[in-house]
Amino acid sequence: KKRNILVTGGAGYIGSHAVLALIDAGHRPIVIDNLVTGFRWAIDDEATFYEGDISDSDLVLKIIGEQAIDAIMHFAGSVVVPESVENPLKYYDNNTAKSRSLIETAIAGGVRHMIFSSTAATYGIPKSSPVCEDMPTMPINPYGMSKLMTEMMLRDVAAAHDFNYCALRYFNVAGADPLCRTGQSTIGATHLLKIAVEAALGKRASVSVFGTDYATEDGTGVRDYIHVSDLASAHVIALEALMADPERSHTLNCGYGHGYSVMQVLDAVDRVTNTKLHRTFEGRRAGDPDTLVSDNIAIKQRFGWEPRYDNLDLIVQHALAWERRLTDIQGT
Ligand code: UDP
């Protein structure tokens, strides 16, 4: 059945992929985005677009009524960890307070399902790897805490109201739509693969490797890189699960269950481009754990989620293809 889904942050990196996944699955996405970090052109033409803020409850209530919204996919928020350390109140506003407002408006408007973009940063520095959903959540930065606080609100609201939710804890999201319709376009990105493909295309001189003395095989940090389109498809499956069983809520890791080191990621870029990135070796970045890899058994078993792009070279290829297109779009 065709559902009307309000996608907050639908002009952003992951939200714009979710819009495509919804369209591809036969649903109808309606986007709300304030375009502070997102781009109007990133939203597929098939989606209905409202420019505005999720904390504008009059606007959100109007959209819920006008568009007969069945569920909300909530991506809107701020995502830069070091910035959250510098400016925590921005994160507690954008990620926590504005989520509180959105949840309140959802309840008021009779929307009974929400899928929430959470993060592996809620775990902090996990005691063991792979990390499981029932392990302790001890965020080590305001970003992770701002998302964990929203998870807690959702839990309590689901207990009190006719409402269920799925919090998806993302690991390292990377890559771009295989058909190159959208991709990672954030200005001044800090994420490893984005920086590496920018360097591969000559937009940067070199790539910094932060820390070479971690307790990993080659001494560089290990992360669980997940293709953004697999992440988007997890949201569509979560939506169906929430509607099929309205009594049940979920908090689930979203990753591949295995990781790559910084060096392995840079080597993959070299392999795909048949060049050699210039690496500069630097000290550790504050707050980085050695290894962050998901246990993804829960989402696979509960939702039957099966990744389609669990292949580092393919992720790099898609990221590169998008970065080339972005050069044309931005005219840089
Ligand atoms: N990293 C790096 N150089 C960079 C950016 C990141 O060596 O320019 C490392 C970082 O220390 C971590 C991994 O790459 O071990 C992934 O970092 P990213 O910022 O992409 O994601 P995070 O894991 O912090 O969410």
pLDDT tens column, 151-198: 999 999 999 999 999 999 999 999 999 999 999 998 888 899 999 999
Burial class (CB in 10 A: 0-12, 13-18, 19+), 52: middle
For ligand 1, pick from 184, 192, 312 the residue to mutate: most ligand atoms within 8 Å of CB. 192
In terms of Cα–Cα distance, which of 166, 83, 185 is closest to 117?
166
Q: Structure pTM?
A: 0.97
Please give the CATH topology (third level) of the domain spanning 4-172+226-254. Rossmann fold (3.40.50)
Indicate whether residue 222 lines ligand 1 (CB < 6 A).
no
pLDDT tens column, 30-73: 999 999 999 999 999 999 999 999 999 999 999 999 999 999 99
Examine the residue annotation and report whether 13 is marked as an active-site residue of this protein: no
Confidence of residue 237 (pLDDT cuts 50, 70, 90): very high
Determine the distance separating the centroid of ligand 1 and the alpha carbon of 244, expressed in angstroms: 38
pLDDT-wise least confident of 25-29, 101-105, 124-128, 204-208? 124-128
Confidence of residue 78 (pLDDT cuts 50, 70, 90): very high
In terms of Cα–Cα distance, which of 147, 143, 34 is closest to 83?
143
Q: In ligand 1, which atom is closest to the CA atom of 210?
A: 7
Indicate whether residue 208 lines ligand 1 (CB < 6 A).
yes
- Mean pLDDT value across the chain: 96
Cβ–Cβ < 8 Å for 193, 319: yes
Indicate whether residue 262 lines ligand 1 (CB < 6 A).
yes
- Residues found in the chain: 332
Check 50, 123, 143, 165 and give the catalytic one: 143
Q: In ligand 1, which atom is closest to the CA atom of 284?
A: 11
Scan for tokens 């775990």, then name that residue.
123
pLDDT tens column, 294-326: 999 999 999 999 999 999 999 999 999 999 999
Confidence of residue 332 (pLDDT cuts 50, 70, 90): low
In terms of Cα–Cα distance, which of 47, 326, 81 is closest to 181?
326
For ligand 1, pick from 80, 143, 172, 210 the residue to mutate: most ligand atoms within 8 Å of CB. 210
Indicate whether residue 288 lines ligand 1 (CB < 6 A).
yes
Domain ranges of the chain: 4-172+226-254
